[in-house]
Chain A
Amino acid sequence: MTKYAYYPGCSGQGTSQEYDSSTRAVCRALGVNLVDIPDWSCCGSTPAHTVDHLLSSALAARNLALAEDMDAAAVITPCPSCLTNLKAAVHRMSDREFRLQVNKLLDKPVDRSTPVKSVLQVLAEDVGSDAVAEMLPNKPLAGLKLAPYYGCIMNRPPEVMQFDDHENPTAMDKLMAALGAEVLPFPLKVECCGASFGIPRKDIVAKLSGKLLEAAAGLGAHAVVTACPLCQMNLDLRQGQASAAMGRKFQLPVFYYTQLLGLALGIPQSELGLSKLCVNPRLALDAMYAAQAEKREREAKSEADKQTLKAKAA
Chain B
Amino acid sequence: MEVVDIHASCDHEFIAQVEAESEQKVRLCYQCGNCTAGCPYTFAYDIPVSQVMRLLQAGQKVRLLSCKSIWLCATCESCTTRCPNEIDVARIMDVLRHMARREGYATEKNVKTFWDTFLDSVEKHGRVFEMGLLATYVAKTGRFWTDMDLGPKILPKGKLSFKPHEIQGKDKVAEIFKRFRETQQ
Contact in complex: B76, A197 (CB < 8 Å):
no
B165 shortest CB reach to chain A, Å:
5
A152 at the interface (CB under 8 A from B): yes
A196 to B122, CA, bound (A): 16
Query: A53 contacts the other chain (Cβ, under 8 Å)?
Result: yes
In the complex, which residues of chain A have a beta carbon less than 8 angstroms from the beta carbon of B150?
A: 237-238
- The interface residues of chain B lying within 8 Å CB-to-CB of A53 are 94, 98
Asked whether A106 is an interface residue with its Cβ less than 8 Å from the other chain, the reply is yes
Other-chain residue from A16, A40, A41, A197 in contact with B111 (beta carbon distance below 8 A): A197
- For A41, what are the chain B residues with a Cβ–Cβ distance below 8 Å? 122, 126-127, 167, 169-170, 172-173
- Inter-subunit contact A106/B176 (CB<8 Å): yes
Q: Which residues of A contact B177 (CB under 8 A)?
A: 55
Give the shortest distance, in Å, between B40 (CB) and chain A (any CB): 5
Query: Which of A11, A14, A208 is most buried by chain B, counting CB atoms within 10 A of its CB?
Result: A14
A49 & B127 in contact (Cβ 8 Å cutoff): no
A237 adjacent to B122 (CB under 8 Å) = no
Cβ proximity bits B150-185 to A, threshold 8 Å, 1 near / 0 not: 100110011111000101111011011101100110
Question: Is the contact region of chain B dominated by helix, strand, or loop, or is it mixed?
Answer: helix
B178 to chain A, nearest CB (A): 9
Assess the A104–B179 pair: CB atoms within 8 A: yes
Expressed in whole angstroms, the minimum distance between the Cβ of A47 and any Cβ of chain B is 4
A47–B81 Cα distance when bound, in Å, is 21
| B144 interfacial by beta-carbon distance below 8 Å | no
Question: Is there a chain A Cβ closer than 8 Å to B30's Cβ?
Answer: no
Residues 5-58 (chain B) with a chain A CB within 8 angstroms: 40-41, 43-44
Check B110 for interface membership: any CB of A closer than 8 A: yes
CB-defined contacts of B77 to chain A, threshold 8 Å = 152-153, 156-157
* Number of chain B residues close to chain A: CB under 8 A: 60
The stretch of A69-77, A199-207, A218-226 in contact with B is A199-207
Contact present for A14 and B130 (CB under 8 Å): yes
Segment at the B interface, from A126-134, A173-181, A187-195, A261-269: A187-195
30 A-B residue pairs with Cβ-Cβ distance under 8 Å, sorted by A, are A10-B130, A14-B159, A16-B159, A17-B159, A42-B126, A42-B128, A45-B118, A46-B75, A46-B115, A47-B118, A47-B119, A49-B75, A50-B97, A51-B98, A51-B119, A52-B180, A53-B94, A59-B122, A62-B173, A101-B183, A105-B179, A153-B77, A157-B77, A166-B81, A196-B74, A200-B108, A200-B110, A200-B137, A203-B44, A237-B154
Pairs A-B, 6 closest by C-beta atoms = A152-B76, A47-B115, A192-B76, A195-B74, A200-B110, A156-B77
- A14-B159, A39-B168 given. 15 additional CB < 8 A pairs? A10-B165, A14-B130, A14-B161, A46-B115, A47-B115, A50-B98, A104-B179, A105-B175, A107-B172, A152-B74, A157-B81, A157-B90, A192-B41, A192-B76, A197-B74
